[in-house]
Every structure is written in C-alpha cells, then in structure tokens.
Amino acid sequence: MAQQTEQVDLRAEKRKVLGKQVKQLRQQGWVPAVMYGRGFDSLPLQFETRRLRQVLAQVGGSQLVSIKIKRIKQPEMALVRDVQRDPVKGTLLHVDFYRVEMTERLTAEVPLEMVGKSPVVEQSEGILLHGISVIEVECLPGDLVDVIEVDLADLVEIDQALYVRDMAIPASVKVLTDPDEMIARVVLVKEEEEEEEEVEEEEVLEAEEVEVITEARAKETTDEE
C-alpha cells in the first residue's frame, strides 16, 4: 500500500467575482474554485491557472493538498473533489476542494495500481480480466494513501482471482467497498473466447426478439385498421 507522496502546496486568493463574471477571471489567467467542508462555510477561491494545472496533473482525489490562502495565516488541507473542464478545449473551468480536519475521519476513493506480472499470463496460458479499479475507504486524512498496489504475481493458476478482501490494508484504514468485489482474475484463453461468443450470441438473440415483437405489433396495428 503506497504512502502519500511529499506534500503538495498550492496558493490561492479569495474570490470576489461570482456568477457569469468569472469568465473575465479565466481570461486573466485565473481559475475559479470553491472550498467547502463539514462545519466549514463555503469559500470562493481563485487559483493561478498554470500552477493549478500542474497540481491537478500530479494529484488524484485521494491526495491531500495544502492550500495557502492569501492573508490567511494557516494553510488549509483539502482534497480535490470535482474538476470541470471545457468539453471541447479541455481548459479548466472550475474546481471543487473538500476541506478536511486532520483529526476527523473521512471517506475517499483510492485507485488500485496493478504491479508485477502473472506467470500464467506471461506464459500465454491465460488472459487477465480486470474488475474494479478503485476502492472506497474511511480513515483519518493522515492515513490516506495515493494508491493501493495489487501484485499480479500472486495469480499463479488459471481461474485464480484477487478480491478486495485479499488486499493488505493497515488497521487504521477501513475499507467500505464490498470485500467480494473482484479486482483481477486469470482465465484460459479459450474460455475468454467462449465468453465473448456467448455475449455475441445473446446480443443476436435479443435483436431477433426485438424484431419479432416489432413485426407482431405491426401486424396487430394492420389488423385493427
């Protein structure tokens, strides 16, 4: 289980421009944002676009960010909760930060990172099927991790799988995701092909059923006329 990387710092200013006028902020090189949290009044902020883009490229939703707000002595610790981008240009439009208290437990989604290689897959005897890619956890902010590593080298047999319950998680972190959720599984190459064929056959049957029902309804309509 990977620990948090070195602290990420980000500077911000309180934002006075609200509503549709934030378009002017973006033109001036700022990104409008808001910080909110439990027992904390929402605070409109603005961040320098270039620096914010750099930070968002290196942190996920489970990494703490230290936000130093101009004219406020103590920095606030927060998590990135939502990032809005222009659907065409991809430019930053707005960012939500969730302020945390270091002494209060929180819930967050932590991504799973596949490491190592399954010897069965390496020998071309099997194919790796992927399940969930994130798990939800509850812990103190200081115990939060960037990623949880999943060692595929543990998959040494066909039809063997790794589940959430197999992950080595510290006692300080409570996993909220169903322990029976599958993360990865190795199946025979032939079995994988058969599963794909079954799916294709089901799709064909469903299409035929729809066609039959459509024809029957059309006939009923004609008879009624």
pLDDT of 92 strictly over 90: yes
**What pLDDT does residue 21 have?**
84
- Do residue 124 and residue 96 come from a single domain? no
Main-chain phi, psi angles of 41, to 5 degrees: -65, 135
Averaged over 116-135, what is the pLDDT?
A: 93
pLDDT above 90: percentage of residues in the chain: 67
- Do residue 92 and residue 114 come from a single domain? no
pLDDT of 148 strictly over 60: yes
pLDDT of 11 strictly over 70: yes
- For residues 56 and 214, the model is more confident at 56
Is 150 within a domain? yes
In the numeric block, which tokens belong to residue 4? Answer: 């948090």
- Do residue 27 and residue 41 come from a single domain? yes
Domain that holds residue 162: 107-189
Asked if 141 and 103 touch (Cβ cutoff 8 Å), the reply is no
- Do residue 72 and residue 114 come from a single domain? no
Asked if 127 and 187 touch (Cβ cutoff 8 Å), the reply is yes
pLDDT of 183 strictly over 50: yes
pLDDT of 191 strictly over 70: no
**What pLDDT does residue 224 have?**
43
pLDDT per residue as tens digits for the range 48-82: 999 999 999 988 888 999 999 999 999 999 999 99
Question: Which CATH number covers residue 133?
Answer: 2.170.120.20
**What pLDDT does residue 199 have?**
52
Mean pLDDT, the chain, as a whole number?
A: 86
Instruction: Choose one of 60, 81, 101: the last residue of a domain.
Output: 101
DSSP state of 3: P
Question: Which CATH number covers residue 56?
Answer: 2.40.240.10
Q: Work out whether strand 126-130 and strand 182-188 pair parallel, antiparallel, or are unpaired.
A: antiparallel
pLDDT of 194 strictly over 60: no
Averaged over 80-93, what is the pLDDT?
A: 93
What are the distances in angstroms from CA 40 to CA 3, 88, 139? 27, 34, 19
Is 36 within a domain? yes
Integer Cα distance of 167 and 183 in angstroms:
10
Is 170 within a domain? yes
The single-letter code of the amino acid at 48 is E
**pLDDT confidence band for 3 (50 / 70 / 90):** low
